[in-house]
Amino acid sequence: MADIYLIHGSDCSELTDKLLYEADIKSRVPHNAKVVIKPNLVTPTKPEHGATTHVGIVESIVRYLKEHCQVASITIAEGAWIGADTAEAFTVCGYDELVTKYGVILLDTKKDKEVKASAHGVDLSVCNVFLESDYFINVPVLKGHSQTKMTCCLKNLKGCIPDSEKSRYHQTGLHKPIAALTTILKPDLHVIDSICGDPTFEEGGNPVTTNRMLLGFDAVMLDSYCAGLIDVNYLEVKHLCLAKEWGVGRFVTDTSEIVELGVEHKTDVKIVRSELVSYLEEFIDDDNACSACYTGLISALREMIGDMPAEGEIKVGQGYKGKEIDGIGVGNCTAGCTRHLPGCSPSSEDILEFLRKSW
């Protein structure tokens, strides 16, 4: 069995079927298993926007399990980022239809029971559905991230924790708790949506069509390989390096076995990571900001290119709670700023309107 399966093409349902058959997944799923599938539905936006998992991929996985495996149940579990509505994301992305079509369960992890755990000196809370599963399938989108450089197999597990925990991760620094979480939650299978992920922004908006998918079993190996596909040096992804150090998996090497399928459909897309985020970050004074606020602010600033002030920084993050500050702040945590936009989290549209009036 190969370490990584890579397939090219534009029909995500067909690609998923071929990957599952090629890797003989039916032989790996326990009899009468409770299967949990975790897509990436960070925001209620269509997959073509570059941020969310194509429903055709998950539907193909469900259909494969129904036709070839004796499973007890199939649950699709996800929690959108703070301030976003998971139910809306399920609807917008087409996941509601899978309930009536296949009898699967849709679970908003924001409403799931929390289980306490600890790893590598980090106390964690994890959603119970993943711990009780017999076979856990992770279906991330390969894309960039303004705070962690990339998000794929490992970071997608951040949707397996309650909202209160997501906020706390940003207080302590994202990388160590993400890495600690990956030592507790270990998906049995990863099916990566790399059809049109945004190589720069987690919330999408600038998708790049690459028409490919990947499958594998080692999250560290997959992430280290996928980093190169979006022009990221995996050694600069701190949570990935920690996960490898803590025994979650191995980095990809020249001896890793990679099976490539559909080469006749391979697109010659060269992704060069944009320096735009680094430029926009010069206008941000971040103190432990959550992803929703931070990326919303980045998105708003992106719309102001060509209309930026000569100087001045916007405050954002939990580190500003309870502080009186002379300046501009975004999000509830910066309520002590002289000019402040409330919300947890405010939309990028509201932030843009606020900045144009206040800056």
The pLDDT of residue 93 is above 80: yes
The confidence score (pLDDT) of residue 46 equals 96
Quick one: 255 and 138 in the same domain? yes
Average pLDDT over residues 70-77: 97
pLDDT higher at 252 or 321: 252
The DSSP output letter for 38 is E
Quick one: 70 and 173 in the same domain? yes
Quick one: 242 and 281 in the same domain? no
- How many Cβ atoms from other residues are within 10 Å of residue 241's Cβ? 17
The pLDDT of residue 41 is above 70: yes
Spatial separation of the C-alpha atoms in residues 103 and 125, rounded to whole Å: 29
Confidence band for 310, pLDDT divided at 50, 70 and 90: low
Confidence band for 169, pLDDT divided at 50, 70 and 90: low
Quick one: 324 and 179 in the same domain? no
Number of domains into which the chain is organized:
2
Of the segments 133-147, 314-328, 344-358, which one has the largest average pLDDT value? 133-147
The pLDDT of residue 318 is above 60: yes
Comparing 87-91, 269-273, 333-337, 339-343, the range with the smallest average pLDDT is 269-273
Within-domain flag for 10 = yes
Burial 84-122 (b: 16+ CB within 10 A, else e): bebeebbebbbbeebeeeeebebbbbbebeeeebeeeeb
Confidence band for 28, pLDDT divided at 50, 70 and 90: very high
One DSSP character per residue, 120-188 reads: TTEEEEEEHHHHT-SEEEEEPBPEEETTTEEESTTGGGGGGS-HHHHHHHHHH-SHHHHHHHHHH---S
Per the structure, the complete domain to which residue 308 belongs is given by: 276-358
The confidence score (pLDDT) of residue 170 equals 54
Structure tokens at 130: 């993943």
The pLDDT of residue 302 is above 90: no
Quick one: 107 and 165 in the same domain? yes
Average pLDDT over residues 254-277: 87
Beta bridge partners of 38: 138
Structure tokens at 350: 């509201």
Beta bridge partners of 116: 125
Domain boundary among 246, 265, 284: 265
3-state secondary structure of 43: coil
Average pLDDT over residues 210-218: 98
Quick one: 200 and 239 in the same domain? yes
- What is the amino acid identity at position 36? V
